[in-house]
Amino acid sequence: MSTENPWWRGGVIYQIYPRSYADANQDGVGDLRGITEKLDYVASLNVDAIWLSPFFKSPMKDFGYDVSDYRDVDPTFGTLDDFKALLEKAHRLGIKIIIDQVISHTSNEHAWFQESRQSATNPKADWYIWQDAKPDGTPPNNWMSIFGGTAWEWDSQRKQYFMHNFLREQPDLNLHNPEVQDAVLGEMRFWLELGVDGFRLDTANFYMHDPEFRDNPPRDMSNFDAGVGGTADNPYFFQEHVYDKDHPDNFAFLARIRALLDEFGITTTVGEVGSDDPSMAAQYTQGNDKLHMAYSFDFLNDTVGAAHIRKTIRQMENMIGDGWPCWALSNHDFARVVSRWKGYGGDARQRALLFNLLLMTLRGSVSLYQGEELGLEQPILEFDELVDPYDIMMFPHHVGRDGCRTPMVWESAADNGGFSAVKPWLPVRDHHAELAVDAQIAPDSVLNLTRSMIHWRKHLPALVQGDIQVVERDDEVVEFTRTHNGQTLWVALNMGQSAVSIQPPAGAQIIREAFLSKDTESLAPLTGTVWSL
């Protein structure tokens, strides 16, 4: 693509969770060499970029999202040379590399925190968020951790509380401190100078907090809408998160990140923005001094129905302005969409194809999670198989992260789906192995049809760059047009369980691709069609 429409704008990004992709050294855990060995497969998907979840040095309390050294590769995944080899081969194949940056917090084993906790007067004393106890010894305020309980942990060495939005082993950095900002930007510069093409910014709206540490107000639970990842049995969601995230100072720091990225040409940032305010994700990507893209959570909830999809698209278009969304239906934190949206009916294959077609026709960039191209369902894990601290805490009511992180399946007849010759860190279920890459050679397999969808999207400018106009309907069809430079496409997706009559615009010609309905008068349940006007 030209610089007028950089590669990331409308591109397809394939998310790889390194622990679960390919195990080159046969120790049961995926690694960077394994990913490098599978890059020809990734290239065959026609994607523009890979997003790699964290592979940095870490005690793995949160499986890499607790970083103890931002510039080193954890031995679990290999070495820095292994990453350089991965980067070189990916670029040779025309694939960009986006890496996770977890800069709202570190591991408590990071050298910065170890120094900070020594005293209230050491050079890094203000690099984390420290507060005195209340006179009765209780935490400074009512802020809660997403992983349960208070967001404050008492440190007997410093004799103060430190803040953690997640695990107590993940203390929050004080990004109000310019020295901390400088240090974090230095860590990011290291990877840019190595040649990475951008960053996925973990919990990008958690960077700043209220300096007055005011209590969050309670949420009206009588009209509770759990939203994305929210459950009424997690006390974190009992509050309106007014003061512990989405602070206005966030935007000034994002401007510094954007300025750094701009030094390196056509690079990109995509921010994870999970907010109580549905307009916040759009705000984080407006203008040329914030994020390039905001990672949308709108389709990561459990809500099903064409009305929900139409409403979500309209809301994004009404809010986004000159910003740019990045859509996803699944990732490493949520149950796989084929199962999470089971309420649409039909079989898993039908749902997988329809959901991938929806993703590939939306306005914005696309994040496709590993295994979605195979149509993998969410496996059910027993309690003694769980390793994720959040799943363990919420069992059995909100289990999902371990299930969506089970290993990628490559060979249907091999042990553990061909992921590893030894017992993997999470189990591989038989129904996953049956959908392995080598079993999906038929032209109409979910894998091959998804490949075709991505290739087809890349060669239709109206899908990569075009506007979107949603058609109001009162049935289970999601209908919209995509338009760019004289090319107009008409998209109709039947999300319902009954056939629906369709009326393509006058003069429209059906695009005859194998994964689309070819019926010119009706749409069968869970099928879609695209016409060129």
Point out the residues that are catalytic.
Answer: 202, 263
Asked if residue 396 has a cis previous peptide bond (ω within 30° of 0), the answer is yes
Strand partners, 52: 16, 99
Residue 488 main-chain phi, psi, to 5 deg: -125, 130
* Cβ within 8 Å of residue 28, ≥6 positions away: 420, 422, 423, 424, 425
d(CA 533, CA 522): 18
| Contact of 214 with 243, CB cutoff 8 Å | yes
Q: Is 336 helix (H, G, I), strand (E, B) or coil?
A: coil
Helix (H) or strand (E) holding 310: helix 306-320
Q: Report how far Cα 254 is from the mean position of its chain's Cα atoms.
A: 19
Long-range contact pairs involving 390-398 (C-beta distance under 8 Å, separation at least 24): 390/146, 390/147, 393/147, 393/148, 394/231, 394/233, 394/234, 397/231, 397/233, 398/231, 398/233, 398/234
Q: DSSP of 375-408, one letter per residue?
A: TPPPPP--GGG---HHHHHHTTTS--HHHHTSPP
Q: Tell me the CB-side half-sphere exposure of residue 312, using CA atoms within 13 A.
A: 25
The DSSP bridge pattern shows strands 49-52 and 268-272 to be unpaired
Spatial neighbors of 240 by CB under 8 A, at least 6 apart, are 216, 217, 218, 219, 276
Residue 285 makes CB contacts below 8 A (sequence gap 6+) with: 271, 291, 292, 293, 294, 320, 323, 324, 325
Nearest to 31 by CA among 98, 106, 81, 103: 81
Helices (H), 136-292: 178-194, 250-262, 280-283
* Distance (Å, whole) CA 183 – CA 188: 9
Residue 501's CB is within 10 A of a number of other CB atoms, namely 10
Helices then strands, each counted (H, E), the chain:
15, 20
- Count the Cβ atoms, other than its own, within 10 Å of residue 462: 24
Which two tokens mark 298?
A: 């709108």
